[in-house]
Amino acid sequence: MENLLRSFDPSNGDKIGEVAVSAPERIQKKVSFAHGAANGWRNLGLDGRLAFLKKAWAGVEPHIRELAELMSKEMGKDIQRSTGEASGIVFGGPYIAQEAMDALGPKSAGGQTTIEYRSLGVVAVISPWNYPLAMANNLIVPALMAGNPVVFKPSEETPLVGDFFVEILNRVLPQHVLQIVHGDGEQGRTLVESQVNLIAFTGSQAVGKDIMTRAAKGLKRLVMELGGNDPMIVLNDADIGSAVRFAVASSFENAGQMCISTERIYVDEQIAELFETQVTALASKYKTGPWNMPGVNIGPIVNKKQHAMIIDHIRDAEDKGARVLLGGSDQLAPYIQPTVVTDMTPDMIMEKDETFGPVIAMSRFKTVDEAVDRANNSRYGLGAVVFGKKEAQAVANRLEAGMVGINQGVGGGNAPWVGAKQSGFGFHGSPEGHRQFSQVRVVSR
């Protein structure tokens, strides 16, 4: 009897659909098929691959609404956000492909020496459930443009939208250039240990460390983004209105299920009371509900395990003396109402680990040194933000993160998506990131 992976709507528990779980031997066969397709795909050259990708991604456009609704049903985000994500990949696919083409062309190294960027082989892409199309797109496109066939494993929480996305693209792409496997950690481990040449992964630190261990046996290349516990520092001369809006929006976006969500806020004690009052007032305006309810800002938490973890973080803070200004730990699945906590201390779980839910956690500081020390006291280092005027740049220079925002969020422009410390191993995005999907070859004539 075929083993099936069933997908459920987190807002009501209704079954949406199912896909077949990929048996280990089937995964190995798909990787073999990918190697068989590698020469033909590589030999098309950059121009030929770009033409295929542009045509394939153009075929996604008529299905934006279907993809968006499927995404909303599977992981809970409201239809407006899902539509934005689905639309984004239609634009982003060809954009990334063109950017990768420009990055992967041969470069002169001076004299008679040329730097070439060649294909590596087969790339395994393992992507998360919180942005099931965008995260996959950001890894699949540069891998394909570098001449590598891809075997893609979407999260077991969002298999249907991943499956439909690949099915649309394969109406155009050559056979076995892009394949999909389904399942949970067992299938992921099988894929990692198969004869792939590079693993591109976005997910948790624990899984990332396991992938590194398994990949080490074959010295396989890795591009991994492993989450964050992003701090925000609010200095006493900050524009409080701007800082409040950012703090609430960044903490609640995608129900807080975002790797660069603001997880820890350190506020100068001189302005803390005003800041906390305004944050609570704005947070109270956010509305929870299912994906198709008008005016919803915060959808359901993706599953019961994640919901329980968020409640544990809130309850731990309550037990250790935090003040709850809004919401709290007495909440039933699948929703977490907007929650605001202050007087966070270093021994609380939510200061040490990412809560990954719609929770604003704040603490007051007396000195800038104290704020910086607490912001940096983490094994994570994905993003960090500082709001202020006179000292903002100096504080930003001291923050240990791959991406830092000054009076705004992180990222933007033609920059890589990169983490420091244990938030990343390698990086993607930007010309430098696209080249990580290639083998650098130096040719001297």
Residue 412 included in any domain = no
Residue 1: per-residue pLDDT:
57
The string of pLDDT tens digits covering residues 198-255 is 999 999 999 999 999 999 999 999 999 999 999 999 999 999 999 999 999 999 999 9
Same domain, 11 and 121: yes
Let me know whether 8 and 124 are in one domain. yes
User: Does one domain contain both 175 and 238?
Assistant: no
388-409 pLDDT, tens digit per residue, is 999 999 999 999 999 999 999 9
Residue 212 lies in a domain: yes
Q: Are residues 393 and 431 in the same domain?
A: no
Percent of the chain with pLDDT over 90: 99
Segment 58-82 mean pLDDT = 97
93 and 241 assigned to the same domain: no
CATH code of the domain in which 241 resides = 3.40.309.10
Catalytic, 253? Answer no
Query: Which listed residue (74, 157, 225, 351) is catalytic?
Result: 225
pLDDT > 70? residue 109: yes
Residue 363 pLDDT > 70, yes or no?
Answer: yes
**Quick one: three-class SS letters along the chain?**
CCCEEEEECCCCCCEEEEEECCCHHHHHHHHHHHHHHHHHHHHCHHHHHHHHHHHHHHCCHHHHHHHHHHHHHHHCCCHHHHHHHHHHHHHHHHHHHHHHHHHHCCEECCCCEEEEEEECCCEEEECCCCCCCHHHHHHHHHHHHCCCCEEEECCCCCHHHHHHHHHHHCCCCCCCCEEECCCCHHHHHHHHHCCCCEEEEECCHHHHHHHHHHHHCCCCEEEEECCCCEEEEECCCCCHHHHHHHHHHHHHHHHHCCCCCEEEEEEECCCHHHHHHHHHHHHCCCCECCCCCCCCCECCCCCHHHHHHHHHHHHHHHHCCCEEEECCCCCCCCCCCCEEEECCCCCCHHHHCCCCCCEEEEEEECCHHHHHHHHHCCCCCCEEEEECCCCHHHHHHHCCCCEEEECCCCCCCCCCECCCHHHEECCECHHHHHHHHEEEEEEEC
Do 394 and 438 belong to one domain? Answer: no
pLDDT at 412 over 90: no
Instruction: Look up 66 and say whether it is catalytic.
Output: no
Do 294 and 436 fall within a single domain? no
Q: Which of 74, 157, 259, 276 is catalytic?
A: 259
Structural domains of the chain, count: 2
Same-domain pairing of 326 and 341: yes
User: Same structural domain for residues 289 and 377?
Assistant: yes
CATH, residue 167: 3.40.605.10
What's the pLDDT at 413? 84
Verify that 280 and 144 share a domain, yes or no: no
The predicted model gives 420-429 an average pLDDT of 95
- Looking at residue 441, what is its pLDDT? 97
Q: In this structure, is residue 128 part of a structural domain?
A: yes
Residue 414 lies in a domain: no
Pair 255, 333 in one domain:
yes
Average model confidence (pLDDT) for the chain? Answer: 97
Domain that holds residue 244: 230-406
Mark whether 199 and 298 lie in a shared domain. no
